[in-house]
């Protein structure tokens, strides 16, 4: 990461942007594509295995209810922290009219498309994301990583069916699923050998493609409010893990550090999912059946960092555009952003698009929406990297708490490369 940032700065100073784009950036792009390649097979295999391993439908329902309750609870907490931070710092008051006009001219046209997409999502009805969660063709759903919720629905449904049939009939299917799961986790190990080079490439490309630094200065207080909120949320996870999972924060953060760094580099919870699951199981000591259910659901539903960012961004935009918010408006942000985080996977371009819906719920005039999005678009990429770290950390924390509540949290047994060779059929 450090080398990537330094190299990116040097490349920018020497005008090497074309070289970085043509020969460095593709390494990072290939790495992300490889992680996304195995995301759908990993979710299918791990979720089916996780649900069917529970052996009891009532146990599955208890785990499902606790998991969703924790995810919703942390999301509401994250939004509340974001609102507190933005109301204390009040970053919108530091933005000049000239800055608003220049950013609107630079990005306003691009943002109109997102406003249009959000309006389509809003007009489709409040329960449309539930309808979209149920696939009409599993092969069609599995062909698009944007349909994660549909794949999760099928995997859970399939796992429940395996629970309800005779064990001898389910055994051949389970043997195949177990083998598939192990093969995919081995693919994760192989892909991660590329990680250091890919992270270097991703960050070098990011630095060379960064917008005018003056924009970062103009939006410094907004970025500061988001970052402070995200850091506070990481502190909340540390407290939750200490009191409810009975593990030290240092143990927790050390165990998931590679997943956090990957989340920062890729800005994708879905791309980070294979590594998240491996770290939670083998370095935090969470039982496989808990990891297999909690982590894939969290990667799609649990968006604490994104929800916090939406709260800060909504208040910031309203402040910058001189649109006053009441206390009830801020309560509306909590409700709307929570619902948005649950349904976001069913909407293309989730983060920005759902922010439009939050802003519209506040009554922001339609002609101001594109201007508001343009105002934050310039610095969205680095903030997206940071909020993805919080999203992934939240998934890991909830997995530990759920595992503890079911007696499925134990001392981690890290597997070394030699262990894989010993387990191989041709060893």
Closest CA to 225 of 341, 100, 84, 321: 84
Provide the CATH topology of domain 2-423: 1.10.3860
Structure tokens at 361: 């719920």
pLDDT of residue 215: 66
d(CA 399, CA 15): 45
Considering the entire predicted model, what is its pTM? Answer: 0.83
Instruction: Give 120-164 pLDDT, tens digit per residue.
Output: 555 556 567 678 889 999 999 888 877 778 888 899 899 889 988
Neighbours of 94 (CB within 10 A): 16
pLDDT of residue 308: 94
Structure tokens at 336: 């709307």
* Cβ burial, residue 55 (10 Å; 0-12/13-18/19+): exposed
pLDDT of residue 266: 84
Say which residues have a Cβ less than 8 Å from residue 388's Cβ, sequence separation at least 6. 263, 264, 266, 267, 268, 269, 272, 305
d(CA 378, CA 375): 7
Structural domain boundaries in the chain = 2-423
Neighbours of 404 (CB within 10 A): 17
pLDDT per residue as tens, the chain (427 positions) = 889 989 998 998 898 999 999 999 999 999 988 988 888 898 888 888 888 877 777 888 889 899 999 999 999 999 999 999 999 999 888 777 777 776 666 555 555 555 555 555 555 565 676 788 899 999 998 888 777 788 888 998 998 899 888 889 999 999 999 899 889 888 888 888 888 899 899 889 888 876 566 667 778 899 999 999 999 999 999 999 999 999 999 999 999 999 999 999 888 888 888 889 989 999 999 998 899 889 988 888 888 998 999 999 999 999 888 888 889 999 999 988 887 776 554 343 466 767 887 888 888 887 777 778 878 877 788 888 899 999 999 999 999 999 999 999 988 865 554 554 454 444 4
pLDDT of residue 421: 47
pLDDT of residue 192: 83
pLDDT of residue 249: 96
Angle of helix 269-283 relative to helix 249-266, nearest 10 degrees, comes to 160
């Amino acid at each position: 990461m450090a080398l990537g940032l330094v190299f990116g700065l040097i490349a920018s100073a020497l005008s090497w942007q074309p070289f970085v784009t043509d020969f460095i950036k593709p390494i990072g792009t290939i790495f992300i594509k490889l992680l996304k390649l195995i995301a759908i097979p990993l979710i299918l295999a791990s979720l089916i295995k996780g649900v069917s391993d529970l052996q009891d439908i009532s146990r599955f329902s208890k785990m499902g209810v606790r998991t969703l309750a924790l995810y919703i609870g942390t999301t509401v907490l994250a939004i509340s922290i974001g609102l507190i931070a933005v109301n204390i710092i009040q970053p919108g008051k530091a933005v000049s009219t000239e800055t608003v006009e220049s950013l609107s001219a630079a990005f306003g046209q691009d943002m109109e498309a997102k406003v249009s997409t959000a309006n389509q999502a809003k007009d489709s009805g409040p329960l449309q994301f539930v309808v979209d969660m149920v696939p009409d063709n599993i092969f069609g759903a599995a062909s698009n990583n944007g349909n994660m919720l549909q794949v999760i629905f099928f995997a859970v449904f399939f796992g429940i069916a395996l629970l309800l049939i005779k064990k001898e009939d389910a055994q051949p299917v389970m043997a195949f699923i177990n083998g598939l799961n192990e093969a995919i986790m081995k693919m994760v190990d192989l892909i991660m050998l590329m990680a250091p080079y890919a992270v270097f490439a991703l960050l070098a490309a990011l630095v060379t493609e960064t917008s005018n630094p003056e924009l970062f200065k103009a939006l410094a207080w907004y970025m500061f409010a988001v970052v402070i909120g995200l850091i506070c949320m990481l502190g909340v996870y540390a407290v939750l893990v200490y009191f409810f999972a009975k593990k030290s924060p240092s143990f927790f953060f050390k165990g998931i550090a590679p997943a956090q760094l990957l989340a920062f580099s890729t800005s994708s919870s879905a791309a980070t999912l294979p590594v998240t699951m491996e770290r939670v199981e083998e370095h935090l000591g969470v039982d496989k059946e808990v990891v297999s259910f909690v982590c894939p659901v969290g990667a799609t539903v649990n968006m604490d960092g994104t929800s916090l960012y939406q709260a800060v961004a909504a208040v910031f935009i309203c402040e910058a555009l001189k649109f006053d918010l009441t206390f009830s408006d801020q309560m509306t942000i909590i409700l709307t952003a929570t619902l948005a985080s649950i349904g976001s996977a069913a909407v293309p371009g989730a983060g920005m698009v759902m922010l439009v819906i939050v802003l519209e719920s506040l009554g922001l005039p339609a002609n101001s929406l594109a201007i508001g999005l343009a105002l934050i678009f310039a610095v969205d990429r680095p903030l997206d990297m940071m909020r993805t770290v919080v999203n992934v950390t939240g998934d890991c924390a909830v997995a530990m708490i759920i595992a503890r509540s079911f007696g499925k949290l134990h001392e981690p047994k890290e597997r070394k490369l030699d262990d894989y060779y010993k387990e191989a059929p041709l060893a």
